[in-house]
Amino acid sequence: MIDKNVYGPWAVIAGGSEGVGASFADQLADAGVNLVLVARKPGPLEETAERIRAKGVEVRTIELDLLDPGALKGIRSVTDGLEVGLLIFNAGANSYGNEFVTADLDRVRGVIDLNITAQLALSHHFGALMKERGRGGIMLVGSLAGYMGQAHMSIYAAAKAFSRVFAEGLWLELREYGVHVLELVLGVTRTPAMERAGLRMDLPGLNVAEPDDVAREGLEHLADGPVWVAGGNQPTAEKRSGFPRDELVSGAHEATKRLLGRT
């Protein structure tokens, strides 16, 4: 069970309306942590908030697009004055199915800005407050895609690689101040976003995780940073970190094509 004396009394979840983000919200509420949920779609956001409030905790919602230049200001308008002990950055845009050189460059920049720029802004703001307070946690939700360059999702994979390396550095900077930093690396997870992307989750031998399971694993290992690979995917992460790169990248490419239904 998460310790609200360390990671409370408030947690901010960016991307907290559905999937893994909603699972984080449920489990933190069970531990008595109040929540600020940030998401772009008002319907799922309010549905999740109402369900969480029934658990007896306070829930505030912020409907906004994290790509908005005023996003941090909007979040601060709700969170300034709250003692936020945990930031979970679960928001992210993917680039599945898009070849880089023919992609719309503005969309490419959007993938980078959401996965990197917005993450940095929230980590910078809340991390400074946690450092001053001498406790807290920052969880950045990553992906196995960040261990290897992949065709038709090269920008997403690169952004997730940045997130993992950033988390390692931030972990070093904040650990002496009692602030835990964790990059929670997910594999294929059965979320609405994955379903909307059209990923094939019925492939033989494919390891598909459930949102509640990976959220629980992440919270249990929040103090075990800087990186935790969830869902039994540690061997895959280790393999993808090896050499020779041409053979590994080419082999993973064939597996990704099957996942995307391109074979």
Is residue 147 part of the annotated active site? The answer reads no
Single-letter amino acid code for the residue at 46: E
Sheet containing 227-229, strands listed edge to edge, beginning at the edge strand earlier in sequence: 59-63, 34-39, 10-14, 84-89, 136-143, 179-186, 227-229
Nearest to 237 by CA among 147, 138, 109, 120: 147
Cis status of the peptide bond prior to 226, with omega within 30 of 0 = yes
Q: With 0-12 CB in 10 A as exposed, 13-18 as middle and 19+ as buried, what is 74? A: middle
Alpha carbon distances (Å) from 215 to 2, 16, 122, 230:
12, 12, 20, 9
Q: Which of 96, 147, 156, 177 is catalytic?
A: 156
Query: Hey, which residues are catalytic here?
Result: 156
